Chains A and B, each alone.
Chain A
Amino acid sequence: MYVELKHIHKTYGSYKASEDINIGIQKGRLAALLGPSGSGKTTILRMIAGLETPDSGDIIIDGRRVNDISPAERGIGFVFQNYALFRYMTVYENLAFGLEIKKLPKKEIKERISELMELTGLQGLEKRYPNQLSGGQRQRVAFARALAPNPSLLLLDEPFAAIDAKIRGELRIWLRDMIHKVGITSIFVTHDQDEAVEAADEIIITNKGRIEQSGSPLDIYKNPETPFVAEFIGESSKIDGYHQLKGFEKGSYKGAIIRPEFVESFKSDNTKFKDIINHSEEGTIEDISFRGNCLEVKLRVGDILLTTHRSLERRPVTIGERMHVIVYRMYAYDDEKSYLLENKELIGKEMVTF
């Protein structure tokens, strides 16, 4: 493990910001700290940087315990949420700042900066001041400035929060590719799961000062371990009366979470589903809303309101229409853990899904 946090605790007064945090990130990986606001993700990042001090526990970077080492000597680059570009310095001076402190010769600084400018596509903007740059350009400068002194670990605090939604996606991919190209171990904080899923090699989910789960984005998406993760990741709705659905038993669970893609609905004359139509139940469409690339359909089955997505290529449906509904699987949960439940009646059946 390149970066390791062991049993980290941090409190602000009576508020527990971090409780027994254990994290390990391998060299060269891009990890995302994902969680709702106030979940303690930024505190973790700031503790790794040395901007905050943990009450107890060890922070280890590259095999060295860094708790008592000043931020400047930890070999990290930090990209602030609002970039913290030096407003009274040009782009060039911003990038040169860290190198000048390291007392590098002028020529080397110049070389390093032109290299970075090329890498980040900022050529020609050397003499601009931060307020003369667009949001995306500012982020690139912040990124380049953090990379300038050749850190071995890059930390980014909500790197996309200050950027227009429109170009956010583009920058996300740019940053991911750039980090992989440079090959630097990186950790970024985000509250946006799309961002984490799209950019990160590994996601660490935080909630109420604890780590809920960590793993690859696909792993977390498919196998949520805790009720929080099951509900937080993906679109999901909590269903208390899940056992009323065909193919599911009550068990000792407290409730279940069903994602739209777990629910199938079809008209009774749909031959593709003729094998499993006996295992379906009847539902009524209560609401239809257009979601851009599909329709979101809300169906009432008994007491339960299920949400599913319907491809625009399929036959149109109307509110009040009676449909057949099948739930393939769900995440049931108790207080601690979440469990994948498959529809028992469908085991061994061949299914067609859209």
Chain B
Amino acid sequence: MVKKYIKKDRVIPGFGLTMGITLFMLSFLILLPLLSVMVFSLKLTPHEFITLITKENVINSFQTSILCSFVAAVVNCFFGVILAWVLVRYDFPGKRIMDGLIELPFALPTAVAGITLSKLYSDTGILGKPLAQLGFKISYTKAGLLIALVFIGLPFVVRAIQPVLEKLDPQYEEAAYILGAGKVKTFLKVILPELRPALWTGFGLAFARGMGEYGSVIYISGNSAREKTQVISYVIMQKLNYVDYAGATAIALIMLIISFLILLVINMIQICQSRRTNFI
């Protein structure tokens, strides 16, 4: 009965087939494996679970990951707005190449980015050496971790803001300008509010990516428990290497919940945004 209804109301063919493919592959390749993690971690008693995730190095790694991802996402929002602004509003030689390069962290394998950044900012590296002489140590510290996370998060923010800025009608600014608002005021009061949903989306994506990042951070961060430069992904991997599956899944569950929450918030922002703009 239900099937007949679906068939009757859709003119374009292929609903059953494509829906079938989509649900089948999504379930078997993505959802089922993730479910295995959840099921396994739920087998632990609450006491075991809490003991596992409140170990000092686990808590430290959560703190490190959240703090560094957050700061990196903030830094990316700041530079992301400037970069998007420059790319959308100005013409200058090399703009096209610059626009293309933004995508580099998407295309460059994380391990390659990781060893390169690590070398670059090490005591013997091109940037690390002068900085070390000034007394700043980057590689194998939280600062290094931060740089790696800024690197991989940048395109998320720029690519979220760019299209919105492109579509933003210059009349808004002109209206504000005619009403007597200065440049800074116009930007803060007129442009920034328009960018806010995109900015949140970009922030969320960059933050989520930073929380889960592994390849690009493990070389530069030093992974020292004492200096608290271990990230969550590293701790999970470490536990896997010691065949401590209980510990790994317990942490993974918390990570999954955080990821889902971020995903949920991003989706809600996008729904709200489309609703709001539809009324205009």
Whether A and B touch directly in their complex, counting CB atoms under 8 A apart, is answered as yes
Minimum CB–CB distance for A155 against chain B, Å:
13
Minimum CB–CB distance for A79 against chain B, Å: 16
| B91 beta carbon closer than 8 Å to chain A | no
B167 interface residue (CB < 8 Å to A): no
A68 to B9, CA, bound (A): 11
**B8 interface contact, C-beta 8 A:** yes
Alpha-carbon gap, A68 to B8, bound state (A): 8
Chain B nearest CB: distance from A73 CB in Å?
12
Measured in the bound complex, the distance between the Cα atoms of B9 and A50 in whole Å is: 8
Against B, the Cβ 8 Å flags (1 = close, 0 = not) of A37-59 are 00000000000001111000000
User: What is the CB-to-nearest-CB distance from A97 to chain B, in angstroms, rounded to a whole number?
Assistant: 15
A159 to nearest B CB, angstroms?
Answer: 20
Interface residues of B in 9-37 (CB under 8 A from A): 9, 11
A71 within 8 A of B: yes
**What is the bound-complex CA distance between A71 and B8, given in angstroms?**
10
Question: Residue on A with the closest CB to B8?
Answer: A53
- How far, in angstroms, from A53 to B9 measured CA to CA in the complex? 6
Interface size on B, residues (CB 8 A): 3
Residue in A closest to B5 when the chains form the complex, CB atoms: A53
Number of A-B residue pairs having CB atoms within 8 Å of each other in the complex: 7
Chain A interface residue count, CB cutoff 8 Å, equals 6
Residues on B with beta carbons closer than 8 Å to the beta carbon of A53: 8-9
- What's the nearest-Cβ distance from chain A to residue B14, in Å? 14
Q: Which residues of A contact B8 (CB under 8 A)?
A: 53, 68
**Closest B-chain residue to A72, C-beta based?**
B11
B contact residues around A68 at 8 Å (CB): 8
- Which chain B residue has the least Cβ–Cβ distance from A49? B11
A65 nearest CB across to chain B (Å)? 14
Find chain A residues with CB under 8 A from B9 CB. Answer: 52-53
Contact string against B for A residues 95-139, beta-carbon threshold 8 Å, 1 for contact and 0 otherwise:
000000000000000000000000000000000000000000000
Tell me, in angstroms, the Cα distance from A50 to B8 when the chains sit together: 9
Residues in chain A near residue B11, CB distance under 8 A = 50-51, 71
> What's the nearest-Cβ distance from chain A to residue B4, in Å?
10
Interface residues of A in 1-56 (CB under 8 A from B): 50-53
Closest to A71 in B: B11
Residues of B within 8 Å of A52, CB to CB, are 9
In the complex, A188 Cα to B11 Cα: how many Å? Answer: 20
**Could you mark each residue 62-96 of chain A with 1 if its beta carbon is under 8 Å from any beta carbon of chain B, else 0?**
00000010010000000000000000000000000
Complex Cα gap A50–B11 (Å): 8
What 1/0 mask marks residues of chain B from 123 to 134 whose CB sits below 8 Å from any chain A CB? 000000000000
Complex CA distance for A122 and B11, rounded to whole angstroms: 30
CA distance A289 to B198 in the complex (A): 49
Query: Within the complex, what minimum Cβ distance (angstroms) separates A22 from chain B?
Result: 22
* B-chain residues with CB within 8 Å of residue A50 when the two chains form the complex: 11
Nearest CB on A from B96, distance (A): 25
| Minimal Cβ-Cβ distance residue in B for A68 | B8
Q: How far is the CB of B55 from chain A (nearest CB, A)?
A: 52
Instruction: Tell me the smallest distance from the CB of B61 to a CB of chain A, in Å.
Output: 49
Min C-beta distance of B8 to chain A, whole Å: 5
Interface residues in A169-191 (C-beta closer than 8 Å to B): none
* Residues of chain A from 276 to 333 with CB closer than 8 A to chain B in the complex: none
Q: Shortest Cβ distance from B5 into chain A, in angstroms?
A: 8
**What distance in Å separates the Cβ of B237 from its nearest Cβ neighbour in chain A?**
48
How far is it, in angstroms, between the C-alpha of A212 and the C-alpha of B11 when the chains are bound?
A: 29
State in angstroms the CA–CA spacing of A217 and B182 once bound together: 59
Complex CA gap A68/B5 in Å reads 11
Bound-complex Cα distance A51 to B9 (A): 7
CA–CA, A10 and B11, complex, Å: 17
Instruction: For the complex, give the distance between the alpha carbons of A52 and B5 in Å.
Output: 11
Q: Which residue of B lies closest to A53 (CB)?
A: B8
- In the assembly, what is the distance between CA of A68 and CA of B7, in Å? 11
State the Cβ distance, A237 to closest chain B Cβ, in Å.
Answer: 32
CA distance A71 to B13 in the complex (A): 12
Which residues from B are CB-within-8-Å of A71? 11
Q: How far is the CA of A98 from the CA of B11 in the complex (A)?
A: 16
Residues of A within 8 A of B (CB): 50-53, 68, 71
Q: Which residues of B contact A (CB under 8 A)?
A: 8-9, 11
* A-B contact list, 7 entries, CB within 8 Å: A50-B11, A51-B11, A52-B9, A53-B8, A53-B9, A68-B8, A71-B11
Closest 5 CB pairs of A and B: A53-B8, A51-B11, A53-B9, A71-B11, A50-B11
